[in-house]
Amino acid sequence: MNERNDLARENTTEIATTALQPMSFVDILDGMFSLYRSHFRLFFGIIAVYLVFGFVLDHVAMYALMGSSPIASLMISILTSIVSYLISLLVAAGLIYASVQVYLGRDITSQAALKQGWRRFLPFLGSSILWGVVVGAFLFLPIISVLIGTLLSIHWSLNLLIVVVCVPFAIYFSVRLGLYTLPVLLEETTAVNALRRSTELVKGTWWRVFGIMLAISVIVFMIVFILLTSFIVLVMVTGAEDATLLETLTRLFVSTPDVTGWLLYSGRTLIILTIAGLIMPISTIGSVLLYFDLRIRKEALDIEMQVTD
């Protein structure tokens, strides 16, 4: 039995309570919220790691940045960004494992999901870097082209042509390779093979996958926009009456503790982290449902798991 059947072999004594069947566009979008709502405590237990570590890391970094030299500040910012990225990856891996188990109707705790994510963390990190390199190459090329074109006084039409060519390729490969997280975690394949596996699943259905991914992204963006806008309005109403919108935004997203004080800075940071954390499971669950939908349609995973169970 090959590595792709690990889902079926994971628990042969328990039959999934969720009906494994192809899902429509609406089914996937509806499933994101229904699974999130019915297992909120499970997902929040994983998100709590992101909130706690993110809050502590932000405050430690901010304290270290105050009064530091420009070089030291740069090094602290780089180190903080790296650690934050690694924590986000671990939390994302835990959310994926949790999403899979609740979709299959199996019990799992937040600790167990994070433990599974940690077990496959290095391959997950490697595949994330590879995906970023492939997609990022097409995004950074136009930027480099503009910089070189400005220095060498190259006509703007050439830069425009590079942008027109590269951006569609970046979008194409971001979708084609966009399901790499599932194979590397669930099928326990290598980082390189995870990208190939994503290509195999998306092949022939790129436009459908693109539409679902785009819809999920728009939904997540709208939720974040509404929450942040509500937060900004609340701050403006309860804050100084003579403060402009620009001043309010500056105090919310740019100001430091020596301007607002540690209490207000901590409250602002906690709210922003909470908003970011709460929306993380939405896109994760959507990707998991899309992954299962593609495997059921292309590989008859539903029949395979019924036979195995």
Predicted local distance difference test score (pLDDT) of residue 178: 92
On the question of pLDDT at 22 being above 70, the answer is yes
Query: Whole-angstrom Cα distance, residue 139 to residue 144?
Result: 9
Residues 6 or more apart whose CB falls under 8 angstroms from that of 7 comprise: 100, 104, 186, 187, 301, 305
Residues 6 or more apart whose CB falls under 8 angstroms from that of 143 comprise: none
Pick the residue with more confidence: 210 or 259? 210
Q: Identify the H or E element spanning 25.
A: helix 25-38
The domain limits of the chain are 3-11+25-304
Predicted local distance difference test score (pLDDT) of residue 1: 39
Residues 6 or more apart whose CB falls under 8 angstroms from that of 135 comprise: 170, 173, 174, 177
Q: State the number of CA atoms in the 13 A half-sphere of 300 facing the CB.
A: 5
- Stretch 64-73: mean pLDDT, rounded? 80
On the question of pLDDT at 89 being above 90, the answer is yes
pLDDT band at 73 (very low <50, low <70, confident <90, very high): confident
On the question of pLDDT at 181 being above 90, the answer is yes
Query: Whole-angstrom Cα distance, residue 203 to residue 286?
Result: 19
- Stretch 133-139: mean pLDDT, rounded? 86
Q: Answer yes or no: are the C-beta atoms of 181 and 92 closer than 8 Å.
A: yes
Predicted local distance difference test score (pLDDT) of residue 172: 93
pLDDT tens track for 228-262 = 888 777 766 665 555 566 666 666 666 677 767 78
Predicted local distance difference test score (pLDDT) of residue 9: 46
Query: Whole-angstrom Cα distance, residue 19 to residue 23?
Result: 10
Pick the residue with more confidence: 278 or 71? 278
Q: Which pair of structure tokens corresponds to residue 124?
A: 């997950």
Residue type for 116, please?
Answer: Q
Predicted local distance difference test score (pLDDT) of residue 251: 64
Pick the residue with more confidence: 114 or 263? 114
Quick one: which of 190, 182, 172, 31 has its CA closest to 92? 182
Q: Count the neighbouring beta carbons within 10 Å of the beta carbon of residue 141.
A: 17
On the question of pLDDT at 139 being above 60, the answer is yes
Whole-model pTM: value is: 0.84
pLDDT band at 153 (very low <50, low <70, confident <90, very high): low
Query: Whole-angstrom Cα distance, residue 65 to residue 79?
Result: 12
On the question of pLDDT at 14 being above 60, the answer is no
Q: Which pair of structure tokens corresponds to residue 178?
A: 């966009």
For the chain, what percent of residues have pLDDT higher than 70? 77
Mapped onto helix, strand or coil, the DSSP state of residue 203 is coil
